[in-house]
């Protein structure tokens, strides 16, 4: 296991900032269309006032780098980078500095499609928020610090509300279908997930991170409801895909922003420390 340094994470020297653009080209973003969706999402967040023009431009530049990076990487390189991020994220998600405060809880996800994304993104957004509180204003300046914190809080809450709304609508569709089945004296089935994809104890350090976690729980419930709707032939696989695709795009957009915020802050702090030492 990597040595854990200040703020409960591996030293910044062990995390190459260029991995940010490499990771964007991995599994969940392998298709050019997905990058296009993220680019559109950045533009929409700018229009909604969530991102500043500078932040939106940074997003677009990183997406362009990711698009090029994808074609330059071998499958082995992609696998190595994403496995490294999952391992590092797991270390952060299951630890707290001695004397530090955290909410420690048992956490479960039924669906594997959410597990990998959870372990890649939730820990980095959590630690980004922790580090912003510890030294964000010192490194970024008060204005940019406030902008970044506001952007992270807003995008996480928006994602949570989006997933919750979809879950509530799917829940209603299931209840309505059950009433119809009962009225017609027809049979329906209750598919389940016998073996959860993830069951672990995790450490959460910020309120916004907890909302991020709850968004995954809502998504997990939604996917089970979707399984019910498809299994009982109330919805087609295509209809389910049309429902979940925009949510996965939002999930990736939130995760990417949290991850990049973490790496950028650590890189900027390291650069500032070098300047101070040279002075």
Query: Which residue from 227, 248, 250 is spatially nearest to 239, judged by alpha carbons?
Result: 227
* Percentage, residues of the chain above pLDDT 90: 51
How confident is the model over 205-251, as pLDDT tens digits?
Answer: 999 999 999 999 999 999 999 999 999 999 999 999 999 999 999 99
User: What is the average pLDDT score of the chain?
Assistant: 80
Measured distance CA(210)–CA(204) in Å, rounded = 7
Higher pLDDT, 83 or 201: 201
Find tokens 């559109």 and name the residue. Answer: 40
Asked if residue 180 has pLDDT above 90, the reply is: yes
For residue 27, the model assigns a pLDDT of 42
Measured distance CA(207)–CA(199) in Å, rounded = 21
Lowest mean pLDDT among 10-14, 197-201, 232-236, 260-264: 10-14
Residues in a beta bridge with 107: 200
pLDDT bucket at 1, cuts 50 / 70 / 90: very low
pTM summary value: 0.76
Asked if residue 59 has pLDDT above 90, the reply is: no
pLDDT bucket at 39, cuts 50 / 70 / 90: low
Measured distance CA(152)–CA(129) in Å, rounded = 8
Q: What is the mean pLDDT of residues 150-175?
A: 97
Contact 224, 189 (CB under 8 A): no
Contact 132, 149 (CB under 8 A): yes
25-42 burial, b if ≥16 CB within 10 A, otherwise e? Answer: bbebbeeeebbebbbebb
How confident is the model over 255-267, as pLDDT tens digits?
Answer: 988 988 888 888 8
Measured distance CA(167)–CA(274) in Å, rounded = 48
- Taking the CA atoms of residue 229, residue 28, residue 114 and residue 155 in that order, the dihedral angle to the nearest 10 degrees is -100
For residue 228, the model assigns a pLDDT of 97
For residue 48, the model assigns a pLDDT of 66
């Amino acid at each position: 296991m990597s040595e854990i340094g200040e703020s409960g994470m591996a030293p910044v020297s062990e995390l190459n900032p260029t991995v940010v653009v490499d990771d964007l080209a991995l599994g969940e973003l392998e298709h050019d269309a997905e990058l296009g969706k993220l680019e559109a999402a950045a533009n929409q967040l700018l229009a909604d006032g969530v991102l500043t023009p500078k932040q939106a431009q940074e997003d677009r530049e990183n997406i362009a780098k990711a698009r090029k990076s994808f074609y330059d990487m071998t499958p082995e390189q992609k696998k190595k980078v994403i496995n490294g991020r999952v391992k590092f994220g797991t270390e952060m998600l299951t630890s707290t500095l001695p004397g530090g405060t955290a909410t420690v809880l048992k956490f479960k996800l039924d669906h594997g499609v959410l597990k990998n994304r959870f372990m890649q993104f939730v820990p980095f957004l959590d630690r980004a928020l922790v580090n912003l509180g510890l030294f964000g204003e010192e490194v970024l300046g008060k204005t940019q610090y406030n902008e970044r914190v506001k952007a992270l809080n807003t995008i996480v809450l928006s994602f949570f509300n989006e997933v919750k709304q979809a879950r509530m609508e799917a829940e209603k569709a299931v209840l309505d279908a059950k009433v119809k089945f009962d009225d017609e004296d027809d049979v329906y089935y209750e598919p389940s997930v016998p073996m959860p994809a993830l069951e672990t104890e995790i450490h959460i350090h910020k309120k916004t991170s907890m909302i991020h976690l709850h968004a995954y729980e809502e998504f997990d419930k939604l996917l089970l409801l979707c399984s019910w709707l498809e299994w009982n032939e109330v919805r087609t696989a295509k209809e389910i895909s049309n429902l979940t695709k925009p949510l996965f795009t939002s999930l990736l957009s939130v995760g990417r922003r949290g991850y990049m915020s973490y790496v950028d802050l650590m890189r900027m702090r390291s650069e500032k420390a070098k300047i101070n030492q040279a002075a």
